[in-house]
Amino acid sequence: MFKKIILLVAIFTLLLSSSCAINKSTNTELILIPYRNGNKYGFCYSNKRVIIPVAYDEVGFFSEGLAPVRLNGKWGYIDSKGTLVIPTIYREVFPFTNGLALVCDTNGNFSFIDKEGNIVIPSKNASYTLIPGLEGFEFSFSDGLYPVTLKDFRHGYIDNEGNLVISLPESFEYTDFFKEGFAVVRVNGKWGF
């Protein structure tokens, strides 16, 4: 009987200690953060455990599983294992949002790419041209829309599939990104929403 009690206590202790270890590991999310060593960058966890060794000239934060990295003056994206999944061929790149990232090629053309590097929304379309959101430092879709310049120099908005969904009259001199259903615009020199 005494042996059974000791065995039950040992099993209970083992189960308790293993569940605590599981809870500790599942409750603490380890996030990859950039770190620098000399002139190169890599990624580590907040506990300073190196995951991706220093190899890059510059890096950004991970977004949707990919991080922008610059190597030899050009940008691309790596995954959390350090695998280059989108080659370093871009002049400029921005974080992924809703599966798309705005990139600028070496000719200065902006396009949206997917996580495989495929151009989903080209820089130039038969009816519009993408423009980066320099005013508000926006580089992704906001409220599902992205401002574009139409071929006749009017303004409009596309959805995340590249469809022109709003075409504004010529009187609109400036349009900005939508936020919570509103966008700043200028019409005949006057600002409004």
- Tens of each residue's pLDDT in the chain, 193 residues: 444 444 333 433 333 332 222 224 444 557 899 999 999 999 999 888 999 999 999 999 999 999 999 999 999 999 999 999 999 999 999 999 889 999 999 988 889 999 999 999 988 776 777 766 544 445 778 888 888 888 888 888 888 888 888 888 888 888 888 888 888 888 888 998 9
Q: How many helices (H) and strands (E) does the chain have?
A: 1, 18
- Any domain includes 16: no
Same domain, 106 and 143: no
Domain of residue 76 covers 29-123
The verdict on residue 2 lying in a domain is no
Q: According to the model, what pLDDT value does residue 19 have?
A: 24
Which residues are paired to 161 by β-bridges? none
Question: Does residue 174 share a domain with residue 136?
Answer: yes
Identify whether residues 33 and 119 lie together within a single domain: yes
Within 10 A of 40 (CB to CB), how many other CB atoms are there? Answer: 15
Smallest CA-to-CA distance from 49 within 62, 68, 30 is with: 30
5 located within any domain = no
Residue at 150 is within a domain: yes
Contacts for 192 with CB less than 8 Å, ≥ 6 apart: 184, 185, 186
Rounded to an integer, what distance in angstroms lies between the CA atom of residue 14 and that of residue 21? Answer: 11
| pLDDT value at residue 167 | 87
User: What's the CA gap between 128 and 151, in Å, rounded?
Assistant: 5
19 occurs within a structural domain? no
| Domain end position, chosen among 106, 123, 140 | 123
Q: Is position 74 within any domain?
A: yes
Predicted local confidence at residue 113, as pLDDT = 95
**Which pTM was predicted?**
0.74
Confidence at residue 6, expressed as pLDDT on a 0 to 100 scale? 42
Rounding to the nearest 10 degrees, give the CA dihedral for residues 121, 109, 128, 97.
40
Q: Which of 78, 98, 123 is the last residue of a domain?
A: 123
Alpha-carbon 98 to chain mean position:
8
Q: What CATH number is associated with residue 51? A: 2.20.25
Count of structural domains, the chain: 2
